[in-house]
Amino acid sequence: MERARYFLAGCLLWAAGAAAWSADVPLPAGARVGIMEMGSTDITHFHVGKTPVQSFMRTYRVSWPVGAVIDDPLAAQLKSAGFEAVFIDPTDPLRHERQAWFVANPQAGKLPRACLEEIGKVLTDEKLSALIIIAPGSNSSPESVQGNRLRKLPSYLQGWGFSTSDEPGGTDKPVVFNLTQMVLVRKGEDGAELGLREWGGSYVYEWATFDPGPDLKTLPASEIDKFRAVINDVIQRQIARVIPHLKPGG
């Protein structure tokens, strides 16, 4: 299998220090659970040079849809867990406030009141028991990740990507990061309430089969296409950390 071709070093945080805020979320059996995608498939390559002037960043846009990587696998797992998955488009307020409400602080244990009010409207209008929002987050608190492997990356990085460096082995086995969060908001008695926030930035991996080619600054499309298999596996692992917290029959 493709995933066996590269080594995923899941640098796991201790539960007490994990960046994901989570708890068991009881939901009625067969409940409608919305999936709202607010990310993109842009891939960021950041190279850490020996000096700042030798560092560079490249962004690659790929043709495969983000839904095929996140939404469809998540919907399949929700169905297997006994829920009905419903794809929901972001509302204008959620789009406009994405940076402030989600991206800026992906490790927060609460959401702004205005955000919960807007999500509450979505839950009511779509007759949902819960809504999972997939959104990027910034490279916040990189020092909390085991080995400080995101420490040299800028705080403004978001979404998916990989980092090479001028250190030994730094171009042969890039660090793969998934700065994506899965935020689950459920419908409570007093309105929408945060039930789960799974932060992919708590984990880093290695892309052991990466080929830097003759020009690290301009990677061929064939090499970037290989990243899909890498991120597919990373996202499957993130989904697997979310689904067990959803308890049907609640």
Whether the CB-CB separation of 16 and 177 falls below 8 Å is answered with no
Q: What is the 3-state secondary structure (H, E, C) of the chain?
A: CHHHHCCCCCCCCCHHHCCCEECCEEECCCCEEEEEECCCCCEEEEEECCCHHHCEEEEECCCCCHHHHHHHHHHHHHHHCCCEEEECCCCHHHHHCHHHHHHCCCCCCCCCHHHHHHHHHHHHHCCCCEEEEEEECCCCCHHHCHHHCCCCCCCCCCEEEEEEECCCCCCCCCEEEEEEEEEEEEEECCEEEEEEEEEHHHCEEECCCCCCCCCCCCCCHHHHHCHHHHHHHHHHHHHHHHHHHEEECC
Whether the CB-CB separation of 146 and 13 falls below 8 Å is answered with yes
Residue pLDDT tens, the chain, 250 long: 444 344 444 443 333 334 445 578 999 999 999 999 998 889 999 999 999 899 999 999 998 888 899 999 999 999 999 999 999 999 999 999 999 999 998 988 999 999 999 999 999 999 999 999 999 998 877 655 555 667 888 888 999 999 999 988 788 889 999 999 999 999 998 899 999 999 998 888 999 899 999 999 999 999 999 999 999 999 999 999 999 999 987 6
Q: What is the pLDDT of residue 32?
A: 97
Q: What is the pLDDT of residue 23?
A: 76
Token readout for 205 is 């991996």
Q: What is the pLDDT of residue 22?
A: 59
Give the count of beta carbons closer than 10 Å to the beta carbon of residue 40: 14
Q: What is the pLDDT of residue 76?
A: 97
Q: pTM for the complete prediction?
A: 0.88
